[in-house]
Amino acid sequence: MKKFNNIKGVFFDLDGTLFDTAPEIIFATNQMLKDLSLHELERNLIKSFIGKGADNLIRKSISSASKKDPEVLFKEAKELFNKYYILNAGQSLTYDGVERALIELKKKKLILACVTNKPEIFTQLILEGSGLVSYLDLVVSGDTVDKKKPHPMPIKHSCDMLALKPKEAIMVGDSCNDIEAGFSAGTYVVTVPYGYQYGQSIKSDKVDLAIKNLNDLVPIIN
């Protein structure tokens, strides 16, 4: 397996990489649709919308549940989604082995960050509710900087904040957003297979390594 040398920091996506956030998002989305007098959507359809930010998920859900212009309902829909999601976001569970991996990576004196497209209010609820925030040196949310992944800005910002050169960092994620953002920012890119790819393949020449779970990272970072 590939080894990474001279790595000082590891950046993790949140939804689909650290946490299985789908159950809570699906609940909030269908409650939003019900309050808008639209029909509820299948779980797997909503799950396929996760990963490109809450605004995209809301618009996609409205379009799938009705023939109405999502923009007409968007403001009300977003308020409803936020109302319901804030109630349960903190209940999201990590994937198996995530906390153990973070503990072992911290033992290697690595700088750890979460770089997500999720708005800060929900990101903090999830990270604080799980206790994982204690392992992180930086959290960059979807509203921290002007652009979201797949734009490289959030990762470049993370490197700047942590005084890291791009090739001293690895971006770990589950989707093309993470791949494109990490590659464009100049970091190494590692993928996990169990998250939310919204129907897109994550097999790419831009990926340095595909692992099965986060614990696979521990022995390959020198």
Mean pLDDT estimate for the chain: 95
Rounded Cα–Cα distance for residues 141 and 123 (Å): 7
pLDDT at residue 43, rounded to an integer: 96
pLDDT at residue 22, rounded to an integer: 96
Q: Given 13, 15, 174, 178, which residue is catalytic?
A: 13
Residues 139-183 have pLDDT tens digits of 999 999 999 999 999 999 999 999 999 999 999 999 999 999 999
- Burial readout 126-139 (b: 16 or more C-beta within 10 A, e: otherwise): bbebbebeebbebb
pTM score = 0.93
- The CATH number that domain 22-91 falls under is 1.10.150.240
In this prediction, residues 92-112 reach a mean pLDDT of 97
- Do the Cβ atoms of 19 and 128 come closer than 8 Å? no
Residues 55-91 have pLDDT tens digits of 989 999 999 999 989 999 999 999 999 999 999 999 9
Residues 115-139 have pLDDT tens digits of 999 989 999 999 999 999 999 999 9
- Do the Cβ atoms of 202 and 179 come closer than 8 Å? yes
pLDDT at residue 198, rounded to an integer: 66
Cβ-based neighbours of 1, under 8 Å, separated by 6 or more? 209, 216, 220
The structural domains of the chain, with segments of one domain joined by +, span 9-20+93-220, 22-91
- The CATH number that domain 9-20+93-220 falls under is 3.40.50.1000
Catalytic: 96? Answer: no
